[in-house]
Amino acid sequence: MGSKTNGNKVAVANGRKGIVGEAAAWAAFYAKIRAPRIDPVPPEWKTASQISQVLNMRADSCANMLRKLERNGKIRPKKFRAKGGNNVKWVKHYRIHDV
């Protein structure tokens, strides 16, 4: 694992060199910074797959329909950050009353 220089002290995460307590402090500091930022999605915004379940359509057909409506200017999507597995992705949402 890497090291981080702090003045004249070097904190190494594996504890072989430097001060182990300082390494733990750096690890806690970076854990706060690297925490994934996920946007709260209001309840009226839905994804294409959620809308397809309501309309009893296939997800890809519904996504194509929504894309066409978006191209024609009938609806406006909004992207929210959502967690998918280990990654944070931008997911397009639509307001349900716009569809």
Cα 8 from Cα 82, distance rounded (Å)? 41
Q: According to the model, what pLDDT value does residue 71 have?
A: 92
Below-70 pLDDT ranges, the chain: 1-20, 34-35, 96-99
Q: What is the sign, positive or negative, of the torsion defined by CA atoms of 73, 75, 80, 85?
A: negative
8 A C-beta contact, residue 51 and residue 99: yes
Q: According to the model, what pLDDT value does residue 29 have?
A: 80
Q: According to the model, what pLDDT value does residue 7 have?
A: 55
Q: Which residues pair with 86 in a beta bridge?
A: none
